[in-house]
Amino acid sequence: MATQQKVEIPIQGMDCAECTQHVRQAISTLPGVASVDVFLASEKAVVCFNPALASLQAIERAVESAGYAVRPLAAAQASAPLAAGFGRRILVLLGLVFGVVLFVAVVGEWLGFFEALTERVPWPVGLALVLIGGYPVFRDVARATLRRQVTSHTLMTLGAVAAMAVSEWATAAIVVFFMRVGDYAESFTTERARRAVKGLTAMAPQMARVERAGEEREVPAREVQVGETVIVRPGERIPVDGEVVSGHATVDQATITGESLPVEAGPGAKVFAATLASLGSLRIRVTHVGADTTFGRVVKMVEEAEAHRADVQRLADRFSAYYLPVVVGIAALTLGVGRDPLATAAVLVVACSCAFALATPIAMLASVGAGAKRGLLIKGGKYLELLARADVLLIDKTGTLTLGRPQITDILPLDGASPNDVLALAASAERYSEHPLAEAVRIAARERGLSLGEPQEFQAAPGRGIRARVNGAKVMVGNRRMVPIAYSLPVLDELETQGKTLLLVARDGQLVGVLAAADTLRPEVPAALDAVRALGVTHLELLTGDNEQTAAAIATRLGIDYRADLLPEDKIAVVKAYQARGRVVVMVGDGVNDAPALAQADVGIAMGAAGSDVAIEAGHMVLMREDWSLVPDAFRIARRTMGVVKLNIAFTAVYNLAGLSLAALGFLPPVLAAAAQSLPDLGILANSSRLLRQK
């Protein structure tokens, strides 16, 4: 069986939601194509196909047959700044021209100017003007019709044809004009939304300075190998992910975390591609390059956010498919009952499904781009829609509510052992564990200058602790489920009442001591949770693997419910239980041990994902810095986005209903219908563009 191949194809000419549908349909009909995702923001298609049945050349031909161009990625990126530079001036010019023509159309119709114009200018001349002005639109409609596709311009073309059929060539010319104005305005708004993605991409350095054969060489960043050493000088962007080997610098990580305050980087510090080094030089051992860097994964995730489309967007897509037959039916009824060809032409002219097609995707695209600039990555409009309806917030503790850097506060030796014996035994067993509590144990042992043994047969038990063999002895370090206690120790209950986590240390089945650790609550958490409550989330609950007393201490302080002693599978069960009751569940976790619950939740928010592969993959939304203020921000962005979408849809529905009614009854002449049909498009574009400026 042939292996599936996945390719990315840069596409030129897509400037609306319908364009992506046309490209998707053209490619998906090819034999051997398994899946197609087309992205308006990044102007590309991602195609998975069987090379034995399909080829890259066939896919490119399908794109071109749909009316779009395939071009090299470098050319696509090079043209972006040019388009962006002219965008604002074009929009201003279009606005002025639109206003002038709209004024002329209204006044001219009132004064009878267009009737006189059509009488004096021969019809063939008017036809030639309409065909020349509308050629790009008519060509695309003809191609779509041959492929049995209906576009928003199909109705407009029918309207222009109807106007020409009743000798209203001036009306047809105005229809063509406003079609072109709408296209330019939509292209401009789409381009503005794309800039967040293109701006991210442009931040990645194209060249890197590498140490090879004892000398520095400047090579393309994509050619750097993992394990090599890269040199970054003051004022340069770091081209790779890696670990600082030597040197010190102040690094601006805003491109990754959205945080404007720089951090100090020295030996051992992790640094990320596309961040800016200043006030010093760095030698960096490379761990990830190109698309595998944190920055590369962020860009890819933002680019492909359109793949997860909101249900309301799918509804608009289905509406557009049924809209044309309804409008044609109304036009036929108008002609059959009223016997008025001008009113019939006006019905076809005023009706345009483009507004419905625009109502959702432009708003979603704008919010995804605006969020990315703040360090909030949203994987698609689907999750914005779900987050706007969420009423349950489930929260992990360690590394999420707390800083995830606990400290050993108490050492209780038993069975004749000394505090240092207990700490050294635990630190030796935990020597290679990645759990935050293990790091606290190692730090405490290092501060006391204790020598550690080499663990053998290391085994982690999620939600319980670890087992290892140290100097021939079987050692267990963990909670009461890992190391059962057959007798009561009041001091342990007292420590747990204080909100401390206990690590029981056993050697060859005998309890030799207890370590108590305390974590620090993130200072911004109480205010963030209050803000979430104010936004209407009715139930907040802590889910933790810690014991009852520790969970109760934190939950009581924050005024939320809690469940303690949970394993990862228990957290998934809690999420499923709420979902079975019809609740929309948001889960916030650190993206590592909480990955299953994050994936199960309606919206999983991964906390502090910079540099974490698991967190970026697990979450539906990703906070690139460990800042709880971004959580209520995400809720606000989602609700504001859905408010804009609903307003877009409601406005379009009311406007189109009014326009169709007035045209069918003869109160809206074809000329005014031509002017009126573009107003909802421009209104939706202006309304959606507000999301680009979210504060």
Residue whose entry in the numeric block shows the structure tokens 């840069």: 10
Neighbour-count burial of 82, counting CB atoms closer than 10 A to its CB (0-12 exposed, 13-18 middle, 19+ buried): exposed
Contact predicate 270/288, CB 8 Å: no
Angle (CA) 483 489 493, round 5°: 90
Going along 15-60, which residue ranges are E strands? 33-39, 44-49
CB 493 within 8 A of CB 427: no
- Structural contact between residues 318 and 280, judged by C-beta atoms closer than 8 angstroms: no
For residue 522 the two structure tokens come to 């993130």
For residue 185, count other CB atoms closer than 10 A to its CB: 20
> 511 pairs with which residues across the strands?
506
* 601 DSSP assignment: S
H helices of 112-122, in order, are: 113-120
Q: Are 619 and 591 spatial neighbours (Cβ–Cβ below 8 Å)?
A: yes
Q: What DSSP character marks residue 399?
A: I
How far apart (Å, rounded) are the C-alpha atoms in residues 240 and 225? Answer: 10
Dig out the tokens for 51 from the structure.
């090379």
| Cα–Cα distance, 499 to 481 (Å, whole number) | 18
Count of Cβ atoms closer than 10 Å to residue 7 Cβ = 14
Q: Which of 587, 97, 679, 615 is nearest to 358 (CA)?
A: 679
Alpha-helical segments (H) within 203-293: 254-257
Strands of the 376-378 sheet, one edge to the other: 376-378, 621-623, 603-606, 585-589, 392-395, 539-543, 561-563
Q: In the numeric block, which tokens belong to residue 680? A: 């909802």
Residue 564 and residue 670: Cα distance in Å, rounded?
Answer: 69
Output the CA torsion sign for 30, 36, 40, 43: negative
| Tokens describing residue 442 | 């190692």
In 3D space, the residue among 513, 492, 511, 516 whose CA is nearest the CA of residue 419 turns out to be 513
For the question of residue 252 being annotated catalytic, the response is: no
The answer to whether 342 and 271 have CB atoms below 8 angstroms apart is: no
> Dihedral through CA 184, CA 187, CA 189, CA 193, nearest 10?
-170
Q: Is the C-alpha dihedral spanning 68, 69, 72, 75 positive or negative?
A: negative
CA distance 384 to 375: 16
One of 140, 183, 396, 519 is an active-site residue; which one? Answer: 396
CA 194 to the chain's CA centroid: 13
Give, in order, the Cα–Cα distances in Å from 83 to each of 77, 89, 136, 187, 246.
10, 11, 19, 10, 42
H or E element that contains 584:
none
CA proximity to 105, closest of 188, 181, 162: 181
Residue 589: which of 568, 564, 561 has the closest Cα? 568
Which residues are known catalytic residues? 396
